[in-house]
Amino acid sequence: MNISKKMQDAFNTQITAELYSSNLYLQMAFWFRKEGWKGFANWMFHHSDEEKQHGLEMANFVLDRGGEAVVDAINKPEANFTDPKQVFELTLAHEQHVTELINRLADVAEQEHDRASINFVDKFIDEQVEEEKTVRDILNLFRHRDGHTVATIDDIVGTEQAD
């Protein structure tokens, strides 16, 4: 069954959003690297790659269903950050925004009665729960340092990313 135009357009909007997320996390990784936070930088580099992969998965899904994958203009991401905690606060806010976007994509799939898209989008809904939890856990390290310095948190985040 071919994908509907409405579903295709919704996926194309999300593909562009995923690529923006990739660029945002890449910019954050560059900032961390410049500031000497290698663990945080590695975490962001990994998440940048992950977001790009999400966009590619969605594009392939659209193409596999006879649709056309199109990337719209991608806005330049924020580049001025003040400290690691602020970057992760922005990351959580962004992930919450992405959750809203994924939920809207799911709404379109339901409106279109497109079971294949519903099934496909479900994994991204589950992943968003995990993404938000992961960033909240990092922010909790900042809030409840338990004697940890920011450098120790950088090591912890970098080590967790390597697993």
28-39 tens-digit pLDDT: 999 999 999 999
**Is residue 75 a part of any domain in this protein?**
no
Hey, is 25 helix, strand or coil?
Answer: helix
Please indicate, yes or no, if residue 154 is contained in any of the structural domains: yes
Give the number of domains in the chain. 1
End-to-end Cα, the chain, rounded Å? 39
Do residues 154 and 39 touch, judged by C-beta distance below 8 A?
Answer: yes
CB 81 within 8 A of CB 26: no
DSSP state of 36: T
Domain range for residue 27? 5-70+80-162
What global pTM score does this model have?
A: 0.90
- pLDDT, one tens digit per residue, over 44-85 is 999 999 999 999 999 999 999 999 999 999 999 999 999 999
The number of beta carbons lying within 10 Å of the beta carbon of residue 67 is: 19
Residue-level length of the chain: 163
Is residue 47 one of the residues assigned to a domain? yes
In a domain, 112, yes or no: yes
pLDDT cut 90: percent of the chain above it: 83
Residue indicated by tokens 């959750």: 99
- pLDDT per residue over 87-135, tens digit each? 999 999 999 999 999 999 999 999 999 999 999 999 999 999 999 999 9
Q: What are phi and psi of 147, to 5 degrees?
A: 85, -5
CATH code, domain with 125: 1.20.1260.10
Token digits of residue 68: 């056309």
Residue 129 CA, chain-centre distance (Å), reads: 11
What per-residue string of b and e applies to 78-115 under the rule 16 or more CB within 10 Å gives b?
Answer: eeeeeebeebbeebbebbeebbebbeebbebbeebebe
